[in-house]
Copies of this chain bind each other. A is one copy, B any other.
Amino acid sequence: MHTLSEENYLKCIYRLWQDKGQKITPTAIAESLGNNPASVVDMLRKLTDKLLINYDKKKGVELTAQGQKDATLIVRRHRLWEVFLLEKLGYDWDEIHDIAEDLEHIKDASLADRLDKFLGFPEYDPHGDPIPKANGKMAKRYSTTLADLKTSGYCRVAAVKDTTSSFLQYLQKLNISIGTKIQLIEKIPFDSSLVISIDGNERTTVSQKFGESVLIDM
């Protein structure tokens, strides 16, 4: 199996691949992991040797079929543990990500499947991210953000793109969670700030950066 570090690279590449259809470069990986690009180059060589990725200067980094499978399993474990921590152990929204970062690396052939069953086969994790099934398939992944909205109107919070506790705590303060109904009232042309109404309450203004981290369902 893979080392902790290899798994973190795989997961990182998987996330970059899902986030944008863009070319995945060593620099992007380095930034995402907080590592030095030189270290990334080392690891890319190792992952290539293990047939988990293909790296072509023109195309950037791509996961092989095996790499995708392995990365998906790590993500599956991460998201299942998040559900467990929140639902069973009573952790708060903003606490579970970091703990799941460690739990996701526990390797046992049937652990994910047993946990999945124990949790009742959840489709989404507490941040609204779809949980890959045992066969690798997963439910719809939302991609439109609040900041993407061109015109005023209603939407529902489907997921969040940021799992830092500062962001999640801000959401809690605003009384926003998965499923919350939001009305976009106005977009300020100057800085793309968003004037919104949360659950029909009085209007609030949030930043563009904030809007970009909220995935919505229309």
Contact = CB atoms under 8 A, between A and B. Distances in A.
Contacts of A114: 89-91
A188 interface: no
Interface string A66-104: 000000000000000000000011110000001100110
8 contacts: A88-B118, A89-B114, A89-B118, A91-B110, A99-B106, A99-B111, A102-B107, A103-B103
A173 to B, nearest CB: 22
Nearest to A81: B106
User: Of A103, A106, A118, which is in contact with the most chain B CB atoms at under 10 Å from its CB?
Assistant: A106
A56 interface: no
Contacts of A118: 88-89
B99 A115 contact: no
A202 interface: no
A108 interface: yes
Interface string A100-138: 001100111011001100100000000000000000000
Contacts of A88: 118
Interface of A: 88-91, 98-99, 102-103, 106-108, 110-111, 114-115, 118
Question: Which secondary structure characterizes the binding site on chain A?
Answer: helix
Given A98-B108, A99-B111, A103-B106, 13 more contacts: A88-B118, A89-B111, A89-B114, A89-B115, A89-B118, A90-B114, A91-B110, A91-B114, A99-B106, A99-B108, A102-B106, A102-B107, A103-B103
A23 to B, nearest CB: 35
A106 B114 CA distance: 19
Contacts of A108: 98-99
Report the 3 A-B pairs with minimum CB-CB distance, sorted nearest first: A89-B114, A102-B106, A99-B108
Contacts of A106: 99, 102-103
Contacts of A103: 103, 106
Nearest to A88: B118
